[in-house]
A and B are shown apart, each in its own frame.
Chain A
Amino acid sequence: MSEELKFPDNLRYSKEHQWVKVEDGIALVGISDFAQSQLTDVVFVELPEVGSVVEQNSVMSTIESVKSVSDVYAPVSGEVIEINQELEDNPEKVNEDCYVSGWIAKIKVKDESELDNLMAAEEYKKFVSENNERS
């Protein structure tokens, strides 16, 4: 796959390959560059409902590519306050720009200490390379 996967330093990552960026108690959530490269071309993103409450590591959305249907797990617990409507018509944003315009949802974080369960960029990068010899 892609030789140059990106792992931005300012994000935290889950074992299920979600990334999260928390600002003022609001978590911006998406899937990692590694995850999108594994999925290949995303054709559909089933977005969570605004107002729904998610638990850390529970399924919050589904991403379909040409040959896969994968669950997206909430990296933190809280209430979904905004979703990326743009993905309804342009799901390929997840492939093109997973960390910026390909974000999936904003979650009002219930407990910021949950972030400790997530990995920093270096750790996640190591996790990816150890668990996926293919990449």
Chain B
Amino acid sequence: MKIVIIGLGSAGFAAALAAKKQDRNAEIVIIDKKDYDLVHPCGLPFYLEGKIKDINSLRHNLGLDRMNIKKHDNSEVIGIDVKDKKVIFKDKKANINTERYNKLIIAIGARPFVPPIPGIENAYKALDIKDVEKIKSKLENTKKAVIIGAGAIGLEKAIALKENGIKVTIIDIMKNILPNLIDLDISSLLEGYLKEEGIDVMLGKSIKKIEKDRVVMEDASIEVDMIILAAGVRPNLELLDDMQIEKERGIIVDERMQTSIKDVYAAGDCIQSVSLINKKTFSALLATTAYKQGTIAGINAAGGKIEYDGSLGTFVSKIGSMEIAATGFNSEFAKKSGYEIVMGKAKAAIKPDWFPGSKKLTLKIVAEKGSGKILGAQAMGEEGAASRINVISTAIKSEMTLKELIGLELAYCPAVSDVKDVLLIAAELALRKIR
């Protein structure tokens, strides 16, 4: 059994590891563009900010030799011949080389989306380690920066630059922060926090053009000395153009991560994920999802049998001192997907308010009105957002109703939590709207 994996990110690595565990005798070959093993891209903003001092700590050596996994580094795949079952690539010496496969796993990820704005080439991309090193080297001479895109990557970069004493303006064409991930009311809370931190936020604004030191919008323009592009990512699909592989925004796979082509699997940012809630496709674009999907692809490719039942898009981001997390559907998305919903929102102290250093958390829960089934939740505060969202993610996965959620027994100690958790308060408020 020979398994070839294209791409060594979270999905590719998870696939290699899982395949090796499944079949210790499998021959595994990875073809990757980079000259090192794995990077932790989610750590990059913390390097920019200065919390992580050494960028090399984000480059991870996987010890592939030890695992007897072969890797072609600095190599670019130029074609996949699905008839002859071989991958054609340009190796690090620029020679054309091939690797035959019994099973192929495509884990080629995504790249930054570049909106069609005149002058956009003046903006720095911010996705990979090289982009971020470039930005870091310019920080000293930067006073004003514009970040295009109010997604998690944009927000984390904004905080990082602000911590370097730079005046930051975030611009997004959408009306809320973390578009599609959180509701407008939670977005407004986050916007308020960013403003308190001295970061300007301009939402619902489209950029007309970018000049060397100026970002021009419909009704305003901002002088800048650095522009960072963080307008989302798109799956890398060009490589697959000649293949008759089924794809939409990303590669379409079944629950075993198999593509429409026999013996070809795909995982991670390059595929269309499936929602655990309504089984419809969406772009998860999360390292956690990629890792899970890679594992499923690896096990199946190596002869195992395992299915993936879908993603909730559970995420957390730390924006300055704020933790913001969400899972499942937000209210807007739930309504768009045809659900009649109820919501419960509460802001309460995580620890009893008499306990020193108690912080508040806002938590909003969305459920289906008829069944009371939980559809999603969003939380924001200085601590405790992710841990509660993880509980709700678990609840959604086990198809719990609000009533069942309220019945959960959660741990209490004043130094850690309160007798009645904000999560339960929000669930109760939502339930009341059903009765």
Contacts and interface: CB of A to CB of B under 8 A. Distances in A.
Interface of A: 40-41, 43-44, 66, 89-92, 95
B343 interface: yes
B349 to A, nearest CB: 8
Contact of B345 (A40, A90, A95): A90
B429 interface: yes
B432 interface: yes
Contacts of A95: 347
A20 B217 CA distance: 43
Given A66-B348, A89-B185, A90-B185, A44 B429 contact: yes
B360 interface: yes
B343 A43 contact: no
Contacts of A43: 345-348, 425-426, 429
Contact residues on B (Cβ < 8 Å of other chain), bracket: 10 to 19
Contacts of A44: 429, 432
B353 interface: yes
A66 B185 contact: no
A75 B427 CA distance: 33
Best-surrounded residue of B347, B348, B420 (most CB of chain A within 10 A): B347
A41 B348 contact: yes
7 contacts: A40-B353, A41-B346, A41-B347, A66-B348, A66-B420, A89-B343, A90-B345
Contacts of B348: 41, 43, 66
Given A40-B353, A41-B360, A44-B429, A89 B346 contact: no
Contacts of B432: 44
A90 B345 CA distance: 8
Interface in B35-60: none
A14 to B, nearest CB: 26
Contacts of B353: 40
Best-surrounded residue of A41, A90, A91 (most CB of chain B within 10 A): A41
Interface string B91-117: 000000000000000000000000000
A41 B346 CA distance: 8
A90 B186 CA distance: 11
Interface of B: 185, 343, 345-349, 353, 360, 362, 420, 422, 425-426, 429, 432
A49 B347 CA distance: 26
Please list the 9 inter-chain residue pairs (A to B) with the smallest Cβ-Cβ separation, ordered nearest first: A66-B348, A43-B346, A41-B347, A41-B348, A92-B347, A44-B429, A43-B429, A90-B185, A43-B425
A66 B420 CA distance: 9
A40 B360 CA distance: 11
Nearest to A92: B347
A90 B185 CA distance: 8
Nearest to A95: B347
A116 B360 CA distance: 40
A89 B342 CA distance: 10
Contacts of A41: 346-349, 360
B47 to A, nearest CB: 36
A44 B345 CA distance: 9
Nearest to B426: A43
A38 to B, nearest CB: 12
A134 B314 CA distance: 43
Given A66-B420, A91-B345, 18 more contacts: A40-B353, A41-B346, A41-B349, A41-B360, A43-B345, A43-B347, A43-B425, A44-B429, A44-B432, A66-B346, A66-B349, A66-B422, A66-B425, A89-B343, A89-B345, A92-B345, A92-B347, A92-B362
Contacts of B429: 43-44
Contacts of B349: 41, 66
A90 B429 CA distance: 12
Nearest to B364: A89
Contacts of B426: 43
Nearest to A41: B347
A44 B432 CA distance: 10
A44 B429 CA distance: 7
B419 to A, nearest CB: 10
A89 B432 CA distance: 12
Contacts of B360: 41
B150 to A, nearest CB: 21
A46 to B, nearest CB: 10
A44 B427 CA distance: 12
